[in-house]
Amino acid sequence: MEISVFGMGYVGVVSAACLTNDGHTVIGVDTNETKADLVNAGTSPVIEKDVAFFLSTAHAEAKLSATTNAAEAVAASSLSLVCVGTPSRKNGSLNTSIVEKVCKEIGAALKLKDAYHCIVIRSTMLPGTIHEVVIPALESSSDKKAGEGFGLAINPEFLREGSAVYDFYNPPKTVIGSLNARDADLVAALYRGLEAPLFKVSIEVAEMTKYTDNVWHALKVAYGNEIGNICKALGIDSHDVMDVFCQDTKLNISPTYLKPGFAFGGSCLPKDLRALNYKAQELDLSVPLIKSVSESNRTQIERGIEIITAHGKKNVSFFGISFKSGTDDLRESPQVELVERLIGKGYKIKIYDKNVEMAKLVGGNKEYILQVIPHISDLIGESFDDVLAHGEVIVIGNSEPEFHDIPKSMNATQILVDLVRIPERDLIGDRYDGVNW
């Protein structure tokens, strides 16, 4: 394929080098003449293992050139990778002006070109940027429609400087967001042969994926560092601790606990978080990340209240108030806090929770339920149907399988607030409201 690569920085040069190594012909574009000259001489503008060799080989085989002229590059290629910078502004917001400028240049060149041309954005951009910045810039300057007159995709880059060529050939995944399947297939063809999961997704999912990944990486570093700081103050080898931590691929390094939903609770996480945070304070250590976790969780409870009260209905039925399915443990259940807050606001609540109902009669939690939260226990309804009939708003609080079919049994005016993401979400149209989906 003939490919133009806009931006001869880290991402662009590594892409150019690897694509020529795979047999493609690449024309690089950069406003910086020195960089264009270096590439034209077969020399790398960046230091990165294997890149210099790939570029000099491609130069010798006449598979690589560079220019400062966008129109020339678009005319000589069928696909353009946009790898220009998206720096922070002073206030932290994302500056997409370079991407916008490049898209206008590409669009102007597309106006003069009849053959189908696909633009692939590799720069990191916030969700919405493709639709708000990239498409308007391309369409207004080309007089063509995205997805019809030209192809458009976003293909976030996951390379790490220092091991960028290795990462190009061994990516954790390939993510392609596009307006149509044709463009997604075109981009996927660039990575044929790579052993990595391929995700063809919507433009917005691809845009958000990159931020979800990078903020997670930053969060992991900060978490490891705070744990390390506590360990050192306690005379414990932090790497011994993290070696054990990382071996746990069931609960720690795993999808467990990572799916969006409602607040955490129960008898362990809140208590243990408080204890470690207090210990850090005793040690005169600042652990802003660990400290902020409880606050984040409180915010999620507030969100639950807002999402329920926003419907302006006073009769609310709760299905499941223990912090997760399959338990009658109500200690520090955020669902219980939700109910208590709504009672305080004058809401008329009825609850169905068969585990808690059972525990009221027998079991170790009987005393807790009857003495510590009698006001909650009194709200537990007689039957599933009785509780369902009460609510103008129905809240599914935990993922007991018997709650999955609730949308099928609701009447035509009832609203469902789902804190757990039941499978049957699409049956009741806009009367369904998920907590964060």
Ligand X SMILES: NC(=O)c1ccc[n+]([C@@H]2O[C@H](COP(=O)([O-])OP(=O)(O)OC[C@H]3O[C@@H](n4cnc5c(N)ncnc54)[C@H](O)[C@@H]3O)[C@@H](O)[C@H]2O)c1
Closer to ligand X at the Cβ: 7 or 397? 7
Tokens of 108: 């102007």
Given strand 64-67, what is the order of strands in its sheet?
64-67, 25-29, 2-6, 79-82, 118-121, 151-154, 174-178, 198-201
Q: Which of 18, 103, 231, 268 is catalytic?
A: 268
Shortest CB 163 distance to ligand X, Å: 10
Tokens of 294: 């409880």
Closer to ligand X at the Cβ: 29 or 187? 29
246-276 burial: b if 16+ Cβ within 10 Å, else e: eeeeeeeeeeeeeeebbbbbbeebbeebeeb
Closer to ligand X at the Cβ: 200 or 210? 210
From the number of C-beta atoms within 10 Å of its C-beta (0-12, 13-18, 19+), residue 240 rates as: exposed
Shortest CB 181 distance to ligand X, Å: 25
Closer to ligand X at the Cβ: 35 or 390? 35
Tokens of 149: 């007159």
The CA-CA-CA angle for residues 338, 343, 347, to 5°, reads 105
Closer to ligand X at the Cβ: 101 or 311? 101
Three-state SS at 349: strand
User: Regarding beta strands 315-319 and 348-352, do their DSSP bridges make them parallel or antiparallel, or are they unpaired?
Assistant: parallel
What is the C-alpha to C-alpha distance for residues 167 and 425, in angstroms, rounded to an integer?
38
DSSP summary character for residue 87: P
Cβ contact 173:209 at 8 Å: no
Q: Is 268 a catalytic residue?
A: yes
Shortest CB 196 distance to ligand X, Å: 15
Shortest CB 68 distance to ligand X, Å: 8
136-150 burial: b if 16+ Cβ within 10 Å, else e: bbbbebbebebeeeb
Closer to ligand X at the Cβ: 111 or 182? 111
Closest residue to ligand X, judged by C-beta, is 9
Given strand 393-396, what is the order of strands in its sheet?
348-352, 315-319, 393-396, 415-418, 432-434
Closer to ligand X at the Cβ: 54 or 323? 54
Shortest CB 101 distance to ligand X, Å: 5
Shortest CB 369 distance to ligand X, Å: 52
SS3 readout for 176-232:
EEECCHHHHHHHHHHCCCCCCCEEEECHHHHHHHHHHHHHHHHHHHHHHHHHHHHHH
Shortest CB 259 distance to ligand X, Å: 25
Q: Residues in the site for ligand X, rule: CB under 6 A?
A: 6-12, 29-32, 35, 83-86, 98, 101-102, 123-124, 157, 159, 161
Looking at the annotation, which residues are catalytic? 268
